[in-house]
Amino acid sequence: MNYIIVDLEATCWNPKGNHQNEIIEIGAVMVDEDQDIISEFELFVKPTLNPILSDFCTELTSITQKDVDNAPLFPEAIQRFRTWIGTEEYLLCSWGHYDKIQFKNDCKLHRLGAGWLDEHISLKHQYAELANLRRGGIGMKKALEREGFSLEGTHHRGIDDARNITKIFLKYFDLWDVF
């Protein structure tokens, strides 16, 4: 089994208004059963409903308009991501349920199946139990600090956050409830 530690970035506004978020970056790290990092995946995605990023979104994520303008649309991006995952058994792991929900929303928007998302766990919620924290858990940045890890890269960049989450995932590798 491979573990896919995934983190998404999506369109965002402040204030949010009634915009629908769309994925603009997929970042992921693949870890095998021997706790070896097999490979990484990073891809920007061009949003279709609101193709122009808000200033807030660019400031938060450091993702530029040029990054998404030159990127594939979601259907092609998700095909590339699923090809990268491969045909071996896998488990998607993210810091919370947001990433799974956002994947489902984008699949629905583009009339794509979402059954490939069924095998998913929230590391954030399991970490809260492991660390005896409040029920909702804490953010990834706080969890890194709590574990003595430094935040590497840019916070709110999918690939960097996936790499940082992987540190926590590997530290508690044998303790995650993976069914």
Tell me the pLDDT tens digit for each residue of 144-179. Answer: 999 999 999 999 999 999 999 999 999 999 999 997
Element of type H or E holding 27: strand 23-31
Nearest to 166 by CA among 1, 3, 33, 41: 3
pTM of the entire structure? 0.96
- Tokens 């040029």 correspond to what residue? 66
- Number of domains the chain contains: 1
- Written as one letter, the residue type at 25 is E
- Residue 17: what pLDDT? 85
- 45 with 24: CB under 8 angstroms? yes
**CATH code, domain carrying 104:** 3.30.420.10
- Residue 107: what pLDDT? 98
pLDDT tens-digit readout, 39-94? 999 999 999 999 999 999 999 999 999 999 999 999 999 999 999 999 999 999 99
Distance in angstroms (rounded) separating the CA atoms of residues 131 and 35: 21
Nearest to 121 by CA among 98, 140, 93, 143: 93
Name the residue range of residue 87's domain: 2-175
- Residue 134: what pLDDT? 80
pLDDT tens-digit readout, 103-120? 999 999 999 999 999 999
Compute the Cα dihedral for 55, 57, 63, 69 and give only its sign. negative
Averaged pLDDT for residues 36-40: 98
- Residue 171: what pLDDT? 97
pLDDT tens-digit readout, 5-33? 999 999 999 998 899 999 999 999 999 99
- Residue 30: what pLDDT? 98
